[in-house]
Structure 1
Amino acid sequence: MATTKRNTLITPTLPEDITKDELSLVRSYLLLTFIHKVFERDCRVIGKSGLFKTPQLYMELVSSATKKTSLMLQEVTRELTSHQLKINTIRQDQRGVTAEYTCRGYSGDIHILWPGFRNEMMLRMRAYLGLGAELASVLPREERVEQMALSF
């Protein structure tokens, strides 16, 4: 009687696609990185401009927001690491911001158009500065968008 040995094919488990929560981490990382740079730049400009009678007050406000973004960025970076998620490159062009990432061996990219990115930056920046969202309507929409059209 002949016996056959059953061969089992063991295939490595394919990495799961990135989850919505993980994409949210990538998005937060991008936003916090850009916001942090804007706050640092603004703080330097306020200090050097000579236009303010009490620049230290405004620098203190912006500096406090900078510290908040730094702490948030550290936490998001820890979360990225715990999810085996690595941001490889960040690029920006006239359409928006793109990040290429790897997650558990899976490669991907996320592209966020400027209008949405700027709006979310403004909302978060207002929160980090301790400002309410109700004051966001003080400026006309066009002016608000133009204010964020900075080169990062």
Structure 2
Amino acid sequence: MATIAKFEPETTREELALVRSYLLLTFIHKVFERDCRTIGKSGLFKMPQLYMELISVGAKKTALMLQEVNRELASQNISITTIRQDQRGVEAEYKCRGYVGEMKIDWQSFRKEMTLRMRAYLGLAGEYSILARDEMKTQLAVSL
């Protein structure tokens, strides 16, 4: 399985899903913000404001969802204490109602879910992707 989580029996699947969503939304939001800045500064686009607007919509959706996940984490007494990334993937340590847990997600799984979510946030979820057959080969440059 792509996600490895060590947790106390008291940690539920829903709580783990919140931790995973927090990680994904945090990375996605940073990618959207970075891409928007890059487009604005590149000078390569004839009408960069259009592309920046599209990406900004995704960033705003992501920010709102991240706020909601943060509220839900707080209401369930869950805090993310550490986030690390290396060549293998993303790792987070968290506290859930006093118990310490760890979640590891390999890059392949993380990138795939990021791509699916980013397409949805940009309104492309139902659109045919010309890159669909190449998605497994595509590497996202992701860093916090």
TM-score (norm 1): 0.84
Q: CA 1:137 to 1:53, structure 2 compared with 1: closer, same or farther past 3 Å?
A: closer
Greater RCO (Cα-Cα under 8 Å, separation 6 or more)? 2
Structure 1 residue 135, shift from structure 2 partner: 2.6
Amino acid at match of 2:16: L
TM-score (norm 2): 0.88
Larger Rg: 1
Runs of 4+ in 1 over 3 A off after TM superposition: 149-152
Taking the TM superposition and a 5 Å limit, the aligned residue runs for 1:51-66 are 51-66=44-59
Amino acid at match of 2:39: I
CA RMSD of aligned residues (A): 1.8
Contact between 1:16 and 1:104, CA under 8 Å: does it hold in 2?
A: no
Taking the TM superposition and a 5 Å limit, the aligned residue runs for 1:129-148 are 129-136=122-129, 138-141=131-134, 144-146=137-139, 148=140
Q: What SS does the aligned partner of 2:128 have?
A: helix
Of 24, 27, 30, 1:34 maps to 27
Q: CA 1:113 to 1:31, structure 2 compared with 1: closer, same or farther past 3 Å?
A: same
Aligned: 1:73 with 2:66:
yes
Q: Which runs of 5+ in 2 are unaligned?
A: 1-7
Q: Name the counterpart of 1:45.
A: 38
Structure 1 residue 17, shift from structure 2 partner: 2.0
Contact between 1:16 and 1:106, CA under 8 Å: does it hold in 2?
A: no
Matches of 1:144 and 1:43 in 2, distance apart?
Answer: 23
Matches of 1:144 and 1:63 in 2, distance apart?
Answer: 26
Taking the TM superposition and a 5 Å limit, the aligned residue runs for 1:1-152 are 17-136=10-129, 138-141=131-134, 144-146=137-139, 148-152=140-144
Structure 1 residue 141, shift from structure 2 partner: 2.5
Structure 1 residue 134, shift from structure 2 partner: 4.7
The percentage of counterpart residues that share the same residue type is 65
